[in-house]
Structure 1
Amino acid sequence: MAKFSIDVNGVGDVQAKIKGLVKYRPMIRSCIVKSLADMKNRSEQLTPEDTSELKKSAYQRMNGDLEGIFGFNKEYAPYVEYGHRLRNGKFHPANPYLKPNAEAQAKIFKKDCEEAMRRLAK
């Protein structure tokens, strides 16, 4: 059986930096949870309402420690967001409600995370 060793310089520095990031996990998680709630609340105003079924199908959940999911359960949700062709050949135009919500939240999420990091750095 052969024995060998590898010596890599700087690994300790990288390990220390990675361990230092662990303190940010709860802060990032709280920003994600807040963003999901914000998007759910904003969907009340942005989601088109015909029968209210699409609006009622909005959901949010954490998917692991640092990932969240927000969306709609109705099978016709993409057709409302992007538009669709009718049986008579005419095109029903898009009525975007998810993309504007995500775009608005991206700015808020960034601001929330920056503010939390500033508080954490003090």
Structure 2
Amino acid sequence: MRITIQGADKLARKLREKSQTDFIAVSQKNARDIYARSQRAGGTPVGETAQLRLSAKYQGDEVGYGVHYAPHVEYGHRLVNGGYVPGQYFLKQNVDTQRPIYKQDLLEKIRE
């Protein structure tokens, strides 16, 4: 005896599309959250011009900083006179703060 389910392939395809759409929506929401946090006090180091904070951008599910010196502030850098300025890890801290929120958002979408 053989049982055939009509439309199973179509249903599977629609479920995959919905899952992908949900994943993208959650990723984009969390990128917006990271960006928004970068614009608040303490989210991004602010020097005399606030150029670093102003260079923060997000597009889709990507967040980053546009100024050339952003990695040096994030990770630290050497000085010409031989000294060292330690990194501030502002982006890492922001991502670490968002990580449990992202996980919770994904779990909620899976439950829907």
TM range (shorter): 0.7 to 0.9
Larger Rg: 1
Taking only the aligned residue pairs, the percentage that are identical comes to 34
Structure 2 residue 80 is matched with structure 1 residue 82: no
Q: Which runs of 5+ in 2 are unaligned?
A: 1-8
| TM-score normalised to structure 1 length | 0.74
State the AA in 2 paired with 1:85: R
Q: Give the root-mean-square deviation of aligned CA atoms.
A: 1.7
CA-to-aligned-CA distance 1:17-46 (integer Å, 9 cap, x gap): 962322212221221121111001111232
**CA–CA distance in 2 between the matches of 1:105 and 1:17?**
33
Q: What count of residue pairs does the alignment treat as equivalent?
A: 100
Equivalent in 63, 70, 89 of residue 63 of structure 2: 70
Equivalent in 23, 48, 73 of residue 28 of structure 1: 23
Equivalent in 45, 53, 61 of residue 55 of structure 1: 53
Which segments of structure 1 move beyond 4 Å, counting only runs of 4 or more?
A: 15-18
Structure 2 residue 34 is matched with structure 1 residue 39: yes
Q: Which runs of 5+ in 1 are unaligned?
A: 1-14, 63-67
| TM-score normalised to structure 2 length | 0.80
